[in-house]
Amino acid sequence: MIEVSSLSFSYPNTDVPVLADINLEFDQRTTAIIGQNGSGKTTFVKLLKGLLKASKGEIFIGDYDVSMKTAAELARQIGLVFQNPNDQIFKRTVLDEAMFGLLNIKMGKYTAEKLALEALEMVGLAGKTAMNPHDLSLSEKKLLCTASVVAMDTDIVIFDEPTIAQDEAGKKIISNIIKKLKRKQKLIITIIHDMDFVAENFERIIVFNQGTVILDGATREVFTRKEVLKEAKVELPGITQLANRLGFQNTVLTIEEFLQNYSK
């Protein structure tokens, strides 16, 4: 559905390449993009969303080159929840914020309000519709931005660090949203640092390191490549580390798998 070929990027007025020759295809597998700070993950998803223009290479969504699409076309097709909610929020009430994208794609006010309320309900903010978003906590702001994007019902949904500032309840909300989007056959791409969350929620992992892809594969496969991950300064999920230390042969991803192996 998304095909990236020979993609390179530098920010204006720098000659340091932030991304160098990225080749990737995205399919219906829930995909986590991991890697240390500054490895180019956010820049990459901004390119997918058409917010930045590639220095070299191409991005195709279906049969269409992203660089040829209008902002309005991309808005209907790709949703991106920003890493920092303060970069995304600019309306005066929670409800207006959740409706903004929908009104912007010319949806009627009645339908937009209905969809926005459904999305706010999903993230637990239905009781705060009249509040000023800037009075919300950081975790609530992040959930509001998530609701605004999910309400758009785009085929592609990208989350940039969705679990930042979330406690267990917040993480559960995000996890349920990912499951729901997966059931609706959306393409889900998520930049994330929480490896326990990755192990439990994603089918595929792409590892970025200094602007290149150094690993790409099924979650279990990637978490088996300890040496490469060390190079990219990526830690294994806690349960995987514990199983490794106990000398388990298999790469374990969840507590359930741990227990199955443990009782053998």
Ligand X SMILES: Nc1ncnc2c1ncn2[C@@H]1O[C@H](COP(=O)(O)OP(=O)(O)O)[C@@H](O)[C@H]1O
Residue 38 binding: pick among Mg ion, ligand X, none (C-beta 5-8 Å cut-off by kind): ligand X
Minimal distance in Å, beta carbon 119 to ligand X? 25
CB half-sphere exposure, 169, CA atoms < 13 A: 5
Minimal distance in Å, beta carbon 40 to Mg ion? 8
Residue 238 binding: pick among Mg ion, ligand X, none (C-beta 5-8 Å cut-off by kind): none
> How far is it, in rounded angstroms, from Cα 212 to Cα 110?
45
Minimal distance in Å, beta carbon 16 to ligand X? 7
Select the residue interacting with Mg ion from 30, 31, 39, 42 (CB under 5 A): 42
Residue that the structure tokens 């705060």 belong to? 128
Query: Considering CB under 5 A, how many residues would be counted as binding Mg ion?
Result: 2
Nearest to Mg ion of 33, 95 (CB atom):
33
Nearest to ligand X of 12, 247 (CB atom):
12
Nearest to Mg ion of 18, 115 (CB atom):
18
**Is residue 18 close enough to count as binding ligand X by CB under 6 A?**
yes
Binding track, positions 20-49, relative to ligand X; x by CB under 6 A: ---------------x-xxxxxxx------
For 3, list phi and psi in degrees, rounded to 5. Answer: -130, 125
**Is residue 64 close enough to count as binding ligand X by CB under 6 A?**
no
Task: Give residues 198-237 in contact with ligand X (rule: CB under 6 A).
Answer: none
Which residue type is seen at 182? K
Q: Using the CB atoms, write b or e for 52-88: b if 16+ within 10 Å.
A: bebbebebbbeeeebeebeeeebbbbbbbbbbebeeb
Query: Considering CB under 6 A, how many residues would be counted as binding ligand X?
Result: 11
Residue 43 binding: pick among ligand X, Mg ion, none (C-beta 5-8 Å cut-off by kind): ligand X
Own/partner pairs for 196-201, CB < 8 Å, 24+ apart?
A: 196/237, 196/238, 196/239, 197/163, 197/171, 198/32, 198/34, 198/237, 199/223, 199/237, 199/239, 199/240, 199/253, 199/254, 200/175, 200/253, 200/254, 201/30, 201/32, 201/175
Alpha-carbon distances, residue 102 vs 111, 149, 232 (angstroms): 9, 9, 39
Task: Give residues 138-197 in contact with ligand X (rule: CB under 6 A).
Answer: none
Minimal distance in Å, beta carbon 237 to Mg ion? 20
Minimal distance in Å, beta carbon 130 to ligand X? 34
**Is residue 2 close enough to count as binding ligand X by CB under 6 A?**
no
Q: 3-state SS of the chain: helix, strand, coil percent to 5? A: 45, 20, 35
> How far is it, in rounded angstroms, from Cα 34 to Cα 190?
9
Residue 11 binding: pick among ligand X, Mg ion, none (C-beta 5-8 Å cut-off by kind): ligand X
Using CB under 5 A as the criterion, which residues of the chain lie in contact with Mg ion when the complex forms? 41-42
Using CB under 6 A as the criterion, which residues of the chain lie in contact with ligand X when the complex forms? 11, 14, 18, 35, 37-43
